[in-house]
Amino acid sequence: MSKKTLAVKLSKLKPFFKPKQNLEQYPTDSDVGATALWEADLIGWINGKEVADLGAGTGILGLGCLLMGAKNVFFVEKDADCLVTLKENIQNLSEEYELGKYEIVNKDISHFEKKVDLVVMNPPFGTKIKGADMKFLEIAMLISDKIVSFHKTETSDYISKFVHDRNYTVNQKIDLPFALKNTMSQHKKRIERISVTAWLIERKP
């Protein structure tokens, strides 16, 4: 599958029906998701691998991995409401493609302990629950040597230190200006765009 086709397929997925502010339910933009997953697959991180999508939401990242040939994807998401949409998205794509295996895990990420080859995640950025993004990174590091994660570009210095302090190294860092569409009601402008950085990190050998 080409990067363009991947982006188009991801753009057709159903978004959050009613995004919840307290859970920071912001969907990953399809081009942004496709760019990061494409780079990850180029270095051999996705095809044939076992992946956990932490805070899966409506599934864009994990489904992108299945489209790129992941062997098995765990969609870990604590909000049961958005899983209805996730299931529809899986159903629609599997009518068109022969996807790998998957499992929907309706749990808080801190209760998911299976070791995987790769974690993909667009974690809450910690604007509602302080430190939520770092908790996601910590848990990802417990279960995987390789992680694709999105963070606000303005926190890059902090993320870089966090990564290096924990014996991980940055394989790639992709700045994606105006990446995140923020459509929640507390904001004056209906759509605000936030600069996001995709991090491809791995444990040092």
Footprint of ligand SAH on this chain (CB under 6 A)? 23-28, 55-57, 60-61, 76-79, 82, 108-109, 122, 124
User: 72 or 127, CB closer to ligand SAH?
Assistant: 127
Smallest separation, CB 22 to ligand SAH (Å): 9
Smallest separation, CB 126 to ligand SAH (Å): 10
Q: Which helix (H) or strand (E) holds 194?
A: strand 192-203
CA gyration radius, the chain = 15
User: 129 or 167, CB closer to ligand SAH?
Assistant: 129
Retrieve residue 83's tokens: 């899983």
Smallest separation, CB 205 to ligand SAH (Å): 29
Q: What is the DSSP string of 38-88?
A: HHHHHTTSSTT-EEEEET-TT-HHHHHHHHTT-SEEEEE-S-HHHHHHHHH
Smallest separation, CB 168 to ligand SAH (Å): 21
Pairing of strands 50-54, 168-182: unpaired
CA dihedral 76, 78, 81, 87 (to 10 degrees): 10
User: 159 or 205, CB closer to ligand SAH?
Assistant: 159
CA dihedral 6, 197, 136, 42 (to 10 degrees): 40
User: 77 or 202, CB closer to ligand SAH?
Assistant: 77
Smallest separation, CB 176 to ligand SAH (Å): 13
For residue 198, what are the β-bridge partners? 150, 174
User: 100 or 124, CB closer to ligand SAH?
Assistant: 124
Q: How far apart are the first and last CA of the chain?
A: 31
Find the DSSP H helices in 50-193: 60-67, 80-96, 132-143, 156-165
Smallest separation, CB 83 to ligand SAH (Å): 9
User: 25 or 144, CB closer to ligand SAH?
Assistant: 25
